[in-house]
């Protein structure tokens, strides 16, 4: 007697598999968490670092400016190298090295050695931005790209908040040495780098002669100058500069402002400072979701930028704790991190995939110049005026400039830079 094979019903043996782009979003969200935690966790403990090395406000600002200087200078080369030699390889090597150098920063006995370690850490972290958004822009379906970018970018807010809370709790509350957070974040960053290596795969490229010739031809025709000649791209870059200037002022100097001019102490400094990055997460997700559905970016910029400017002004103008917290929450909801996914999506819509690395590198380069200027400049103003309010007001003015620039953004059909160049 022969037994009949039971045919599986349609869908019976189908197993749920996690889409690859979800893995990419998860890995890169963690990556942004620790890229930004390492950038900013030292801000609540700047006072302790200043006492250790006998520094004034301008010199304390230099601690962040030197990091962002090397980070900024390396953006365009990192983007170009990633397009040519491999995005994942460059990203992972730089990320793990970034973790090592973060830990090494805590070992430096003198201020000069500390600055050198921070400069090298900034240089190594520059390999993350362009390759990450180039890989994720290829992996995430176009209909989910803005939301996917917003989720990835939310790692920035979580990381900054985590850094603020942990460093202020360990050092300001528990009385530990200010070097301890450097060791903790160094180790965690290395572990995340290994996880990215496992989860992320770089898309294989066609190595046929025809494809190589096409890529070479595009590389010759699409240069930094051709990217800058695209009006929407140039405006996007400059608006990021203005937005990031305000954000840098907040995340660099808000903890010290709370201590010296509002009288907060201990872990409450980190908790209040963390309100900005934490509030930014729902703001970014909601704004990007609506922007994806409507296909419009300009109207959101016109809402986000002025509200962020008013909230920054209120942060230093109001005197009660309740109003201060309200102003910080509003800035978090409508500020830089909420605007980022819209700007990132604008970049990906205006360039060909073959030059994503270069385009995102240039985007971050222009924006991060503000992070070089702001820490030192606000510290300089604080030394000259005896208060940090002037520095916060400078951020309001720069945001107003960004609003004016956005008036010239041309909303319309996607126009690839390479198409424009090749049509000439």
pLDDT (tens digit, 9 = 90+) per residue, 103-126? 999 898 788 999 999 999 999 998
CA 175 to chain centre: 30
Structure confidence at residue 421 (pLDDT): 39
1 within some domain = no
At residue 218 the predicted structure's pLDDT band, cuts being 50, 70 and 90, is very low
Mean pLDDT, range 92-98, rounded to an integer: 94
Residue 313 pLDDT: 95
Answer with the residue of higher pLDDT: 218 or 19: 19
pLDDT tens-digit map of 266-310:
888 888 888 888 888 887 777 767 766 666 677 778 888 999 999
Does residue 335 lie in a domain region?
yes
Position 208 in a domain:
no
> Which token pair is 338?
């909420």
Give me the mean pLDDT over the 142-170 stretch: 84
What is the arithmetic mean of pLDDT over 403-421?
65
Residue 277's pLDDT is what?
86
Q: How confident is the model at residue 14 (pLDDT cuts 50, 70, 90)?
A: low
Query: In this model, does residue 10 exceed pLDDT 60?
Result: no
SS3 sequence of the chain: CCCCCCCCCCCCCCCCCCCHHHHHHHHHHHHHHHHHHHHHCCHHHHHHHHHHHCCCHHHHHHHHHHHHHHHHHCHHHHHHHHHHHCHHHHHHHHHHHHHHHHHHHCCCCCHHHHHHHHHHHHHHHCCCHHHHHHHHHHHCCHHHHHHHHHHHHHHHHHHHHHHHHHHHHHHHHCCCCCCHHHHHHHHHHHHHHHHHHHHCCCCCCCCCHHHHHHHHHHHHHCCHHHHHCCHHHHHHHHHHHHHHHHHHHHHHHHHHHHHHHCCCCCHHHHHHHCHHHHHHHHHHHHHHHHHHHHCCCHHHHHHHHHHHHHHHHHHHHCCCHHHHHHHHHHHHHHCHHHHHHHHHHHHHHHCCHHHHHHHHHHHHHHHHHHHHHHHHHHHHHHHHHCCCHHHHHHHHHHHHHHHHHHCCCCCCCCCCHHHHHHCC
Judge whether residue 149 has pLDDT over 70. Answer: yes
Domain count, the chain: 1
Mean pLDDT across 132-156:
80
Calculate the average pLDDT of the chain.
83
Average pLDDT of span 134-139:
82
- Nearest CA among 288, 293, 326, 292 for reference residue 304: 288
Q: Is residue 32 part of a domain?
A: yes
> Average pLDDT in the 322-347 region?
86
pLDDT of 338 reads 78
Asked whether the predicted pLDDT for residue 17 surpasses 70, the reply is yes
Q: What is the pLDDT of residue 400?
A: 95
> So what's the pLDDT on residue 220?
46
| Model pLDDT, residue 419 | 42
Q: Is residue 2 part of a domain?
A: no
Per mean pLDDT, which range of 83-87, 129-133, 332-336 is the poorest? Answer: 83-87
Q: Which whole number is the average pLDDT over 349-363?
A: 77
pTM of the model: 0.75
201-215, 247-261, 290-304: segment of lowest average pLDDT: 201-215
Range from 14-18, 242-246, 291-295, 390-394 carrying the lowest mean pLDDT: 291-295
Tell me the pLDDT band of 5, cut-offs 50, 70 and 90: low
Q: How far apart are CA 332 and CA 308, in angstroms?
A: 8
pLDDT for 9: 57
Residue 234 lies in a domain: yes
pLDDT given for residue 147 in this prediction: 75
pLDDT (average), residues 155-173: 90
Looking at residue 222, its pLDDT comes to 61
The two structure tokens encoding residue 222 = 């699409």
| Contact between residue 78 and residue 64 where contact means Cβ atoms under 8 Å apart | no
| pLDDT at residue 295, rounded to an integer | 64
Query: Looking only at Cα atoms, what is the longest distance across the chain?
Result: 98
CATH number of the domain at 149, please.
1.20.1250.20
d(CA 236, CA 296): 14
In a domain, 109, yes or no: yes
Q: Is residue 253 part of a domain?
A: yes
pLDDT computed for residue 217 by the predictor: 45
pLDDT of residue 145: 73
- Residue 306: exposure state from Cβ atoms within 10 A (0-12, 13-18, ≥19): middle
- For 142, the domain range is 20-202+217-422
Task: Give percent of the chain above pLDDT 90.
Answer: 34
Q: What local confidence, expressed as pLDDT, does residue 303 receive? A: 86
The pLDDT value given to residue 204: 66
């Amino acid at each position: 007697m022969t037994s009949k094979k039971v045919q599986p019903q349609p869908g019976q043996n189908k197993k749920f598999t996690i889409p690859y782009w979800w893995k990419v979003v998860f890995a890169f969200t963690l990556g942004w968490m620790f890229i930004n935690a390492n950038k900013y966790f030292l801000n609540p403990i700047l006072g302790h670092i200043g006492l250790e090395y006998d520094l004034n406000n301008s010199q304390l600002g230099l601690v962040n400016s030197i990091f962002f200087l090397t980070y900024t200078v390396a953006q365009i080369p990192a983007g170009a190298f990633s397009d040519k030699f491999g995005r994942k390889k460059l990203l992972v090597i730089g990320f793990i090295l970034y973790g090592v150098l973060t830990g090494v920063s805590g070992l430096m006995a003198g201020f000069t050695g500390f600055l050198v370690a921070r400069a090298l850490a900034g240089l190594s972290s520059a390999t993350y931005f362009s390759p990450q958004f180039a890989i994720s822009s290829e992996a995430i379906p176009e209909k989910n790209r803005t939301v996917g970018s917003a989720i990835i970018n939310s790692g920035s807010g979580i990381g900054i908040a985590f850094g603020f809370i942990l460093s202020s709790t360990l050092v300001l509350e528990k009385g530990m040495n200010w070097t301890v957070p450097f060791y903790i974040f160094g180790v965690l960053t290395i572990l995340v780098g290994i996880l990215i290596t496992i989860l992320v795969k770089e898309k294989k490229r066609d190595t046929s002669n025809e494809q190589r010739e096409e890529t070479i031809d595009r590389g010759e025709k699409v240069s930094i100058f051709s990217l800058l000649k695209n009006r929407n791209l140039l405006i996007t870059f400059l608006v990021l500069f203005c937005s990031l200037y305000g954000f840098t002022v907040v995340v660099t100097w808000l903890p010290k402002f709370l201590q010296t001019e509002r009288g907060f102490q201990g872990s409450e400094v980190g908790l209040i400072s963390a309100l900005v990055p934490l509030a930014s997460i729902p703001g970014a997700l909601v704004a990007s979701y609506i922007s994806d559905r409507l296909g419009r970016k300009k109207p959101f910029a016109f809402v986000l930028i002025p509200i962020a400017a008013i909230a920054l002004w209120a942060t230093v103008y109001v005197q009660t704790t309740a109003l201060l917290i309200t102003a910080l929450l509003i800035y978090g909801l409508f500020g830089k991190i909420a605007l980022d996914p819209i700007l990132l999506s604008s970049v990906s819509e205006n360039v060909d995939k073959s030059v994503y690395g270069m385009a995102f590198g240039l985007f971050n380069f222009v924006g991060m110049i503000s992070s070089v200027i702001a820490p030192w400049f606000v510290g300089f103003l604080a030394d000259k005026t005896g208060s940090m309010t002037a520095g916060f007001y400078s951020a309001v003015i720069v945001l107003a400039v960004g609003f004016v620039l956005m008036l010239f953004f041309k909303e319309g059909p996607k126009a690839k830079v390479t198409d424009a160049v090749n049509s000439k």
